[in-house]
């Protein structure tokens, strides 16, 4: 009996070992795709309307993680893209929002005034990954291959092209809506390659693109030109054609722009995803032609989801409502003035459910920062839409439930994340146009914002699915283990064994 059990165990171990990739084995290309503001349930919502060549191809032939969650707060674009590619959270990689305050100065997360635009003369090119404190998958890949690997990022948004590609990327391209051209910065190069200029010239001749103009992000056409740029980079850089594994990072942002404007339901959102499905199919065909079917490893995920419009919820007798940023700023300033005698405003901003205090103004008035934060916390807690509010530095001493406490702490980086974070009731959200019947947003811990799709496809990936809870931070270590390279420098995620051991 013992001998039989031993043989069974030995066979299982052998089969597992055979299923895993061997050292030295790597695909020709790694492709990362992020669909901005894509809820997990969209995979099923549009399932019957998707073509066989796009999303359904990934679902039907790849491996699906049906319970992938974001494990930090807030759930916003810059953080989501960074966390997926670093395997980390703001507490470690330092990217704490799309826009943050550093030393009381409001700044874009990828702002870098030491560089300039390449491809246009606008300030949209003053961008780089220098504010990112950790390495990415692409950085680790280049390190492992002594920088023979090529890594390229492409997106409509600067942060969605820059942070995924990482510090040592060969290039990152984003769309400058003022010049209606794909641009980069002097961080990467001094002139655009010919293949980028060809895409830009084609857009200049495209009547639909020119008609859309600076509002192209509000149209599905934006996803089409992103795909054009991604395929141009694939071919122009000869990705997947060298001895070392290359990486292409693609982010589709029009789904976020359209979602914010028209919400999670309706013709505009439907059109955005159905068009994206066709563009995705076109990208997959280009990968098959350029690299070869089965020769590339691909993952697709989202940076966050989105809540339904609160008026839509109330019309169907479901809970929901707005939380106005301007009202919060005034309420906190008034409370500090009344209780502590402040004569000047002490709140710089409210962003992503966080209060950014003006430390200089507080010090100048001789106020205690800790007391100001406590007044802000008490003020927020008395608001009807707010469930709880905590001082980031005192969060461990708060009565937050373990799940919320973990996400608050994972999202906090001193000096960048603000001072106080507040949690709203489900389907309540902070927005500047609460009267709109279509607008929506994201940023909270709830499943509608934090439950995202995660699909793996291609090289060494077998068809299957899991409902086990995994996290956005597990993507990077999974890819790195498949490639047999070191995890990014601040990685806290764990490899998804179901993907690796098949």
186 is catalytic: no
Over the stretch 40-61, which tens digit does the pLDDT of each residue have?
999 999 999 999 999 999 999 9
Mean pLDDT throughout 55-78? Answer: 98
Whether the pLDDT of residue 297 is over 90: the answer is: yes
In the prediction, which pLDDT does 325 show?
Answer: 67
Summarised one tens digit per residue, pLDDT across range 219-236 is: 999 999 999 999 999 999
Sheet with 171-176: list strands edge to edge. Answer: 117-118, 181-185, 171-176, 151-155, 246-252, 29-35, 296-301, 454-458, 63-65, 464-466
**Chain-centre distance for alpha carbon 339:** 40
For residue 105, the model assigns a pLDDT of 87
pLDDT of residue 502: 66
Highest mean pLDDT among 105-109, 320-324, 430-434: 105-109
Please spell the DSSP secondary structure of 151-163, one letter per residue: EEEEESSHHHHHH
pLDDT of 1 reads 47
Summarised one tens digit per residue, pLDDT across range 135-170 is: 999 999 999 999 999 999 999 999 999 999 999 999
| CA-based nearest residue to 464, from 62, 44, 21 | 62
Q: What mean pLDDT is reported for the chain?
A: 94
Residue 90 has which token pair?
Answer: 């703001």
SS3 233: helix
Please give the average per-residue pLDDT across 232-248, as a whole number: 97
Model confidence at 434: pLDDT above 60: no
Query: Is 70 exceeded by the pLDDT of residue 238?
Result: yes
Residue 484 Cα distances to 72, 144, 240, angstroms? 27, 9, 17
Beta-sheet pairing, 29-35 with 246-252: parallel
Which contacts (CB < 8 Å, 24+ apart) does range 335-340 have? 335/375, 335/376, 335/378, 335/379, 336/367, 336/372, 336/375, 336/376, 339/375, 340/367, 340/368, 340/371, 340/372, 340/375
pLDDT of residue 102: 82
Pairing relationship of beta strands 321-323 and 454-458 according to DSSP bridges = unpaired
How does strand 321-323 pair with strand 428-430? Answer: parallel
Q: Write down the catalytic residue from 64, 75, 77, 441.
A: 77
- The span from the CA of 29 to the CA of 247, in Å, is 6
Q: What tens digit of pLDDT does each residue of 107-129 get?
A: 999 999 999 999 999 989 999 99
pLDDT, tens digit (0-9, with 9 covering 90-100), for 386-416: 999 999 999 999 999 999 999 999 999 999 9
Q: Kindly report, residue by residue over 190-204, the tens digit of the pLDDT.
A: 999 999 999 999 999
């Amino acid at each position: 009996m013992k001998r039989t059990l031993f043989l069974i165990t030995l066979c299982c171990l052998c089969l597992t070992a055979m299923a895993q990739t061997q050292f030295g084995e790597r695909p020709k290309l790694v492709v990362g795709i992020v669909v901005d503001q894509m809820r997990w349930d969209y995979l099923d919502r549009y399932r019957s309307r998707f073509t066989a060549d796009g999303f359904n191809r990934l679902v039907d032939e790849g491996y699906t993680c049906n319970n992938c969650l974001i494990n930090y707060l807030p759930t916003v674009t810059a953080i989501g893209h960074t966390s997926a590619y670093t395997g980390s959270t703001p507490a470690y990689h330092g990217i704490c929002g799309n826009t943050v305050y550093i030393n009381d100065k409001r700044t874009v997360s990828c702002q870098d005034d030491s560089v300039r635009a390449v491809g246009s003369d606008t300030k949209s090119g003053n961008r780089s990954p220098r504010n990112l404190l950790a390495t990415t998958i692409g950085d680790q890949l280049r390190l492992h291959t002594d920088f023979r690997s090529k890594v390229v990022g492409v997106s409509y948004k600067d942060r969605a092209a820059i942070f995924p590609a990482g510090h040592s990327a060969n290039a990152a391209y984003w769309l400058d809506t003022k010049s209606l051209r794909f641009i980069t910065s002097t961080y990467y190069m001094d002139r655009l390659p010919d293949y980028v200029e060809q895409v830009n010239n084609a857009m200049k001749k495209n009547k639909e693109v020119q008609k859309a103009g600076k509002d192209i992000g509000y149209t599905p056409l934006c996803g089409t030109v992103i795909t054009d740029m991604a395929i141009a980079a694939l071919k122009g850089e000869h990705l997947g054609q060298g001895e070392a594994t290359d990486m292409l990072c693609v982010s589709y942002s029009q789904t976020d722009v359209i979602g914010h404007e028209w919400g999670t339901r309706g013709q505009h959102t439907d059109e955005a995803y159905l068009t994206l499905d066709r563009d995705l199919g076109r990208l997959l065909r280009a990968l098959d032609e350029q690299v070869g079917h089965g020769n590339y490893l691909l993952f697709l995920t989202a940076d966050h989801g989105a809540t339904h419009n609160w008026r839509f919820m109330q019309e169907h007798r479901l809970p929901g409502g707005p939380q106005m940023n301007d009202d919060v700023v005034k309420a906190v300033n008034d409370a500090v003035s009344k209780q502590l005698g402040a004569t000047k405003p002490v709140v710089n901003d409210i962003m992503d459910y966080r209060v950014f205090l003006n430390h200089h103004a507080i010090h100048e008035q001789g106020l205690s920062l800790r007391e100001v934060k406590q007044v802000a916390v008490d003020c927020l807690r008395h608001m009807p839409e707010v469930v709880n509010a905590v001082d980031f530095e005192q969060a461990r001493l708060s009565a937050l439930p373990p799940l919320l406490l973990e996400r608050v702490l994972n999202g906090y980086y001193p000096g960048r994340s603000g001072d106080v974070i507040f949690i709203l009731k489900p389907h309540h959200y902070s927005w500047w146009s609460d009267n709109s019947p279509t607008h929506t947003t994201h940023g909270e811990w709830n499943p509608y914002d934090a439950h995202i799709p995660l699909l793996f496809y291609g090289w060494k990936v077998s068809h299957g699915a899991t409902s086990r809870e995994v996290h956005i931070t597990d993507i990077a270590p999974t890819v790195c283990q498949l490639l047999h390279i070191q995890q990014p420098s601040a990685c806290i995620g764990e490899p998804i064994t179901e993907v690796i051991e098949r």
